[in-house]
Amino acid sequence: MTKELQQIAAHRKLRLVVDTNLFISSLLSPRGSERALIEACFAGKFELLYCEHLLQEIEDVISREKFRKRFTVEEGLSLIDAIVLVGTEVPDREEQKLPRICDDPDDNFLFALYEDGNGDLLVSGDKEVLKAAASALWITSADGKMAATLLENRKAWGSELLRGDSESGWEAIEAAGNRAIFNAVNFLFEVIEGIKSKKFDRELLDQAVVPGTATAWLDDFESAQSLLTNRAFGTHPIIISPEIVAIKLVPDLGDSYVALRPTAPIENAVFLTLERCPDLLDNKGNDALGLDGWRAHSIGPRFLQPNEVRPPTDAVRKKAVQSLRGSRN
């Protein structure tokens, strides 16, 4: 474990919900990352949450004849005994009260176990479970290899983060339906970098920001550029209102990380506030840039509130929208 995660463990063990497929993988691959994670749970490094439904599912799987050449039923039952011995039992939720998150209803009990047990991390090798977890903003999930980085002796970034990968991050963004928001973030990054390198004219910034805010961006361009340089973004937007969100921008250390909690503290973070601008959509509701109306509003140590944003009826904003439409014709 890293020093930072050891400090967390000294205060409270991380609570893990582990899917059946991880337990089976630990039996099939004694030297795999899944086995290392399970053994760490059994050693008391994490608090393992379980319910009767999970135990029954494991028992059903280990009894399948196709596994007899890989492990015995007795080895499987010993695994269940170990789960009960060291884990924390959470009562099963009634079926009609299970969350409807997964396409496969048989997996919904995992999310109830996570919620009722106040879980920190849901670990699964099932892509559909991970996709469903990514669409639910209150769940933090990882596959076995990603979760196993909790055991690696390397410097962590922040106090409640584990190493991930960018592909999983974009899958989480896609699953949550937030692609347009993050495309708008990327577009802003590209425009700022292009202006800095003199590849783009400064006027292009009008296309990347909320109508009427380009002047403020250009007046403080050096500061905005500095705040955006060497930054990466979190995959979960902070929802301020239906048409205003904020993205936490953190120091880019060249790796992808997963926050175990939405409020995981990260030093030197800033916030990029974005607004969805219906006044930039055409009569059919289409955005000429394919960003669904999302544009950057401002960047700073805090995100804005709705009363700090100019409404579409504002005269300055209306003039900026007319100018943008004129430049495209």
Q: Which domains does the chain have, with CATH numbers?
A: 3-156 (3.40.50.1010), 179-328 (3.10.450)
> Residue 28 — φ and ψ, nearest 5°?
-75, -35
Confidence of residue 14 (pLDDT cuts 50, 70, 90): confident
Give exposure, 41-68, as e/b (b: 16+ Cβ within 10 Å): bbeebbbbbbbebbbebbeebbeeeebe
- According to the model, what pLDDT value does residue 322 have? 85
Count of CB atoms situated within 10 Å of the CB of 180: 18
3-class state of residue 46 by DSSP: coil
Contact 62, 77 (CB under 8 A): yes
Question: 301 vs 180, 208, 262, CA distance in Å?
Answer: 23, 20, 17
Residue 156: pLDDT band by 50, 70, 90 thresholds? very low
pLDDT band at 265 (very low <50, low <70, confident <90, very high): low
> Is 50 exceeded by the pLDDT of residue 9?
no
Confidence of residue 292 (pLDDT cuts 50, 70, 90): very high
Q: To 10 degrees, what angle do helices 73-86 and 20-28 make?
A: 130
> Could you tell me the sign of the dihedral formed by the alpha carbons of 300, 297, 137, 37, in that order?
negative
164 pLDDT band, cuts 50/70/90, is low
Q: What pLDDT is attached to residue 8?
A: 46
Asked whether the whole model's pTM tops 0.75, one would answer: no
Residue 260's pLDDT band (cuts 50, 70, 90): low
Q: 284 or 236: which carries more pLDDT confidence?
A: 284
Structure tokens at 68: 């007899």
Whole-number Å distance between alpha carbons of 34 and 31: 8
Given a cut of 80, whether residue 16 has pLDDT beyond it is: yes
What pLDDT shows up at residue 4? Answer: 38
Asked if pLDDT for residue 120 goes beyond 80, the answer is yes
Whole-number percent of the chain with pLDDT over 90: 41
Beta-carbon contacts of 254 under 8 Å, excluding residues fewer than 6 positions away, are none
User: Mean pLDDT over all residues of the chain?
Assistant: 83
Give the model's pLDDT for residue 313. Answer: 85
